[in-house]
């Protein structure tokens, strides 16, 4: 009995142990499965799908190929939020990273009235000291903020030409932002006027570096016009604008439409400007032009809020009254209308008094005609001297009595109008001023109109017939680089640059030649010019090389003294190389001793291989 009870107790204990082991294993399996499932869910939620999750007892094992070290660390951190971090085993490998690409060298340069600032990355081979000196010179006493960093990577072949061009542009643009990379230079700048904008565009378009894209965006502020003027004429010669100022595209569209309805063809060339007296300017001008068309001819001048309408001689009085009455009622309230129907002048034995001013293509000015007094005659002469210079003026006037009131003002206005022309004539009469000639200013007609209206009033009668000649334009008429060098060759073809024997001193006979070359180069700014010196074959080669170099430098220095911008010029000496004549004769040696001017043409750029390409090339060679 006792044995049975003992066996029973032993069996109970054994069963309990077995059940405990089974329960413990089941619990461990459950925990492992839940841990694995929990870690997988967290990794999937965070987009980490490249990791395999395994379990080993209570440990969670992460396997797989992580794209980066950061991605592997993120996977371990995510698993550590589900199970204890000590239970996470890292069996991941990190994928090999690609070769590091070299950074892009780039600079942002900002220049304004406060100074110059630079930020960006430049090659380690750059001469920081030389760059800093150049920027300091450009800043001209203003502050310089240099935030440039350097990196030791291969320098692109086009980096230096791009930087040279950018610094040249920065020197000319006091208010600008310039972005520089090896392949592109982007220039955003503000000019003082439309004329300066055109000049800068011409200068910066020249000598753009090969292999570098250049983007220019130069803007000019709208001019302020006072008085704000538009003048429209319809007569036997057709319809035309002597001046046209607008404040918006909408106003220009209204004015152009009204002019076309009155018979105008062509381009009005209206100037978008500031200073408009009223937002209804376009409506007022369109109504005034329509009135001229309804009259069948005449002239209307709108200066600020004053409207002056002058009909043609012979216009019926009834038609004139109807049109003027309709215009007066239709004009916006701020505009005031003055109208005139001219009568035919009475004939006189001498004809109407006349004052004539002419200017020849060579610049010679003559003043002829009638003036009311010696004082007015002296005033006219002094005014012309101030405008044209003493050497170019010839007086042919005479003092007479009985001239109309306001004649001195008309004479002085005519002289000032002539100064707007390169050549031409101005004829002043009591009822009209006629201006004829050529000009290099595209806006000369409008400028002369505003001048005469300001001096003589809105009702003044004048006829302007001026022709824009591109060759006379100081900007558009500039010669091309090739034309500049060709002009220098023409100057030196019949006259030779010579030096004192065995020296670098220019002879007295050469000074006029240098003067002529300097005048040409002043019109050809921002050229890259090579001044090359050559000698004959007599003497040692090294001495000839140095002498030719020094003589070329002497010519460059002589041009600098004459205020030619020679910053992009280069003086080189070739010694006795490239003879153009026989060195065995005196005439041949004389011909070989010469100075030549030529354009510096950039060499074609060759792209340097990147670091990765260099590695691949070396591997292929091995």
Tell me, what CATH number does 39's domain have? 3.30.1340
**Do residue 569 and residue 463 come from a single domain?**
no
Select from 178, 193, 219 the last residue of a domain: 219
**pLDDT given at position 4:** 66
Alpha carbons 9 and 606: distance in angstroms, whole number: 97
- Judging by beta carbons within 10 Å of its beta carbon (0-12, 13-18, 19+), is residue 141 exposed, middle or buried? exposed
Which residues are registered as beta bridge partners of 145?
117
One domain, residues 542 and 434: no
> Range of 290's domain?
229-340
Beta strands at 106-112 and 115-123: parallel, antiparallel or unpaired? antiparallel
The encoded tokens of residue 132 equal 């800093």
Backbone torsion region of residue 547, taken as left when φ is above 0, otherwise alpha when ψ lies between -120 and 50, otherwise beta: alpha
Q: Which residue in the block uniquely carries the two structure tokens 């070299």?
A: 102
Binned at pLDDT 50, 70 and 90, residue 606 comes out as very low
What pLDDT score does 269 carry? 83
DSSP 8-state class, residue 332: -
- Both 496 and 515 in one domain: the answer is yes
Q: Looking at residues 483-488, what average pLDDT do you find?
A: 85
Does 251 map to a domain? yes
Instruction: Say if 418 falls within a structural domain.
Output: yes
The dihedral region occupied by 540, where left means phi > 0, alpha psi between -120 and 50, and beta the remainder, is beta
363-370 mean pLDDT: 88
Same domain? For 65 and 150 the reply is no
Last residue of a domain, one of 94, 120, 151: 94
Q: Is residue 510 in some structural domain?
A: yes
Whether residue 347 is contained in a domain is answered as no
Instruction: State how many domains the chain has.
Output: 5
| Same domain as 573, residue 520 | yes
Position 605 in a domain: no
φ, ψ of residue 607 to 5 degrees: the values are: -65, 130
292 and 233 within one domain? yes
Tell me the mean pLDDT in the region 593-599. Answer: 90
| Same-domain status, 193 and 237 | no
Q: Measured between alpha carbons, how far is 531 from 225 in angstroms, rounded to an integer?
A: 46
Q: Are residues 195 and 234 in the same domain?
A: no
C-alpha distances in Å from residue 25, one per residue of 18, 55, 58, 61: 11, 14, 12, 20
Q: What is residue 443's DSSP assignment?
A: T
pLDDT of residue 618: 52
Both 248 and 329 in one domain: the answer is yes
| Same domain (yes/no): 323, 246 | yes
Band (605; pLDDT cuts 50, 70, 90): very low
| Residue 325 and residue 405 share a domain | no
Q: In what order do the strands lie in the sheet with 184-190?
A: 143-151, 115-123, 106-112, 176-181, 184-190, 213-219
Share of the chain above pLDDT 90, in %: 27
Give the CA angle between residues 408, 412, 418 to the nearest 5°. 145
Nearest-CA neighbor of 583 among 529, 522, 523, 541?
541
95-143 pLDDT tens trace: 876 656 678 899 999 999 889 999 999 998 888 888 888 888 888 888 9
CA 458 to the chain's CA centroid: 37
Q: What does R_g of the chain's alpha carbons equal in angstroms?
A: 43
The Cα–Cα gap between 535 and 574 comes to 8
CATH code of residue 333: 3.40.1520.20
Domain stops at, among 66, 94, 122: 94
Q: Give, as one character, the DSSP assignment of residue 86.
A: G
- Residue 474: the pLDDT is 63
617 part of a folded domain: no
Does residue 9 fall inside a structural domain? no
| Mean pLDDT, the chain, integer | 84
User: Which among 319, 267, 270 is positioned nearest to 293, based on CA atoms?
Assistant: 319
- Asked if residue 177 lies in contact with residue 108, where contact means CB atoms within 8 angstroms, the answer is yes
Distance set, CA 343 to CA 238, 312, 313, 431 (Å) = 22, 9, 6, 11
Per-residue DSSP letter, 193: S
440 and 521 in one domain? no
Is residue 134 situated within a structural domain?
Answer: yes
């Amino acid at each position: 009995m006792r044995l049975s009870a003992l066996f029973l107790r032993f069996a109970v204990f054994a069963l309990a142990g077995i059940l405990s082991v089974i329960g413990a294993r089941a619990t461990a399996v459950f925990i492992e499965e839940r841990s694995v499932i929990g870690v997988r869910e967290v990794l999937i939620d965070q987009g980490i799908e490249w990791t395999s999750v395994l379990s080993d007892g209570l440990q969670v094992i992460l396997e797989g190929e992580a794209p980066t070290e950061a991605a592997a660390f993120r996977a371990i951190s995510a698993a550590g939020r589900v199970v204890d971090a000590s239970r996470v085993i890292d069996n991941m490998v990190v994928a090999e990273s690609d070769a590091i690409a070299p950074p892009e060298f780039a600079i942002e340069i900002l220049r304004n009235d406060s100074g110059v600032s630079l930020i960006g990355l430049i090659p380690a081979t750059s001469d920081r000291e030389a760059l800093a000196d150049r920027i300091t010179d450009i800043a001209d006493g203003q502050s310089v903020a240099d935030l440039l960093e350097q990196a030791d990577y291969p320098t692109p072949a086009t980096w230096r030409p791009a930087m040279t061009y950018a610094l040249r542009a920065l020197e000319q643009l006091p208010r600008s932002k310039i972005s520089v990379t090896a392949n592109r230079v982007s220039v955003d700048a503000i000019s003082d006027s439309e004329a300066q904008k055109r000049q800068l565009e011409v200068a910066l378009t020249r000598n753009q570096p090969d292999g570098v894209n250049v983007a220019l965006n130069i803007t000019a502020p709208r001019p302020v016009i006072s008085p704000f003027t538009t003048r429209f004429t319809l007569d036997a010669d057709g319809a035309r604008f002597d001046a046209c100022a607008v404040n918006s595209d909408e106003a220009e569209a209204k004015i152009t439409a009204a002019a076309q309805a009155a018979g105008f063809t062509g381009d009005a060339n209206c100037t978008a400007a500031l200073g408009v007296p009223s937002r209804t300017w376009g409506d007022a001008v369109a109504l005034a032009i329509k009135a001229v068309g309804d009259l069948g001819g005449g002239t209307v001048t709108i200066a600020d809020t004053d409207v002056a309408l002058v009909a043609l001689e012979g216009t019926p009085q009834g038609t004139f009254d109807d049109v003027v009455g309709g215009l007066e009622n239709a004009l916006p309230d701020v505009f005031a209308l003055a109208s005139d129907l001219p009568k035919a002048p009475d004939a006189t034995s001498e004809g109407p008094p006349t004052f004539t001013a002419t200017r020849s293509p060579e610049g010679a000015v003559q003043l002829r005609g009638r003036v009311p007094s010696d004082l007015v005659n002296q005033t006219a002469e002094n005014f012309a001297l101030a405008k044209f210079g003493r050497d170019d003026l010839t007086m042919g006037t005479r003092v007479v009595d009985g001239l109309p009131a306001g004649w001195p003002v008309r004479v002085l206005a005519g002289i000032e109008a002539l100064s707007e022309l390169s050549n031409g004539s101005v004829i002043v009469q009591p009822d009209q001023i006629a201006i004829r000639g050529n000009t290099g200013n595209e806006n000369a007609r409008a400028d002369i109109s505003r001048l005469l209206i300001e001096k003589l009033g809105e009702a003044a009668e004048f006829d302007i017939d001026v022709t824009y000649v591109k060759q006379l334009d100081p900007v558009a008429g500039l010669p091309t680089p090739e034309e500049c060098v060709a002009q220098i060759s023409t100057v030196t073809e019949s006259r030779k640059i010579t030096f004192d024997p065995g020296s670098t001193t220019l002879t007295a006979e050469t000074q006029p030649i240098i003067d002529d070359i300097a005048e040409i180069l002043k019109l050809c700014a921002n050229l890259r010019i090579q001044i090359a010196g050559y000698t004959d074959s007599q003497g040692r080669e090294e001495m000839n090389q140095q002498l030719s170099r020094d003589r070329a430098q002497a010519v460059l220095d002589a041009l600098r003294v004459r205020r030619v911008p020679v910053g992009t010029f280069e003086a080189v000496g070739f010694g006795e190389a490239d003879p153009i004549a026989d060195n065995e004769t005196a005439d041949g040696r004389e011909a070989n001793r010469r100075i030549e001017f030529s354009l510096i043409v950039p060499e074609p750029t060759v792209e340097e291989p990147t670091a990765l390409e260099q590695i691949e090339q070396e591997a292929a060679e091995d």
